[in-house]
Every structure is written in C-alpha cells, then in structure tokens.
Structure 1
C-alpha cells in the first residue's frame, strides 16, 4: 500500500494542477468572451457586419475547448521530452559489474568424490 501511495501521489498532484489550470483558463476565456459580447452589443449599428459579429460569437464559444486542447497537447509534449531526457540519462549510466566474479568461483575439481562438507565452505 505504501508503494501504491508513493506511485499515486505525483499523479494526483499533476491531476490537481491540471484541474486548477483548466479552471483558471475557463474563467479567463469566459471573461474574454463576456467582454467581447459587451463590445459587440455596445457598438453602433453598421460598424461591424452582422455576419462577422455572429462568426466571432461562434468562435468565442469554442475558445474554452481550443485552450484546453492546446494546454493538453503542450503537457503531453513536455512529458514526452522528459521521457527522452530520462532515456538519455539512463544510457550514460555505467554498466554494473558481472554477477559472478571469476576469482570467487570454486575450483573446477570441487567437490571431489561427490561429497560436500559444510565445514569446507567459507562465508566471505
């Protein structure tokens, strides 16, 4: 359970940070959309073509979705770049020594006559 908690803790923090960022971006885009609607309503007739005004309102409605898409793609790109960095770090780590050293192997003639005595073994 401790290992699972240790594994989940960074993912939980990243998810919380992303939710905080998405909420802030939603608020920013909603405020921007509200100001643009107030601007479109307050200007005089004939200054802006009604078709262009409707098009800008339609695009403004998709502003939240577009921002979330860009942010998610940037976060995925950042994770992929970090993965490449980690692979490069692992390739620079020197390799470990072999598991069995030749000097610590028993004599090829051991055990003689098929007998093994515990007193003959030495713990190092």
Structure 2
C-alpha cells in the first residue's frame, strides 16, 4: 500500500504538468450611455420589440404621450385648477437621466393655445 500513496509534492507536480496556461483575449467594450445603446439599433423593429419584452414597455420612450380632457369652461375672473392623475417616475439605473418634456394646451380643433417645455431629472440621490 505504501507504493500507492502519493505525497502532496507529487500531486502538485502532476497538476503543474497537466496545467496549460489559457491566453486571456477578452477586451471589454467601450462604455456607452443607455441612450447610445438604444440609438444603435433604432431602425431594427424586431430588436426594439425584443428589448421592450425584456426591459418592459416604453423603455425607449420613458416620458410618453398623455392626453387629458379638462372639459369646457366659460370665462371668469378667477383661474381654473385642474389636477391630473398621479404618476410615478420610473425607477432603476436604466431610467436615470435628464428628460425634456414638451407640454401643450389645445382646444377641440387641435389649435395650440399654450405650449411650454420643462425638464425632469431622475437621480439615485438628490445630493448628486
């Protein structure tokens, strides 16, 4: 039985003989923003749908089109107030960034009565 016993040194030597160094040829791609990644294949409809299925609907257009009917009101000396439904901002790393929102107030004839533009910053922490 003493002939079958292998020492630790012999095991290490056998392992060293059998070990082949593997070349590391991996080079990571350059870092890109989420917007750059989304714009890379914006003309490929099937890939856009695939990404949407993986990441959720509207990932390419987070600030979407919303229409609200406010009704008909006659003129008066005080202002009218109208509150839309509460909406929650997107969460997560992919949704972070600066968004430009275009708002407008139109009548039934689609005549633009008032237009304005505002920005929304989605951040992890407000101290950034």
Q: Report the TM-score when normalising by structure 1.
A: 0.22
The structure that has the greater radius of gyration is 1
Q: Which of the pair is proportionally richer in helix?
A: 1
Indicate the structure with greater strand content: 2
Of structures 1 and 2, the one with the larger relative CO (CA 8 A, separation 6+) is: 1
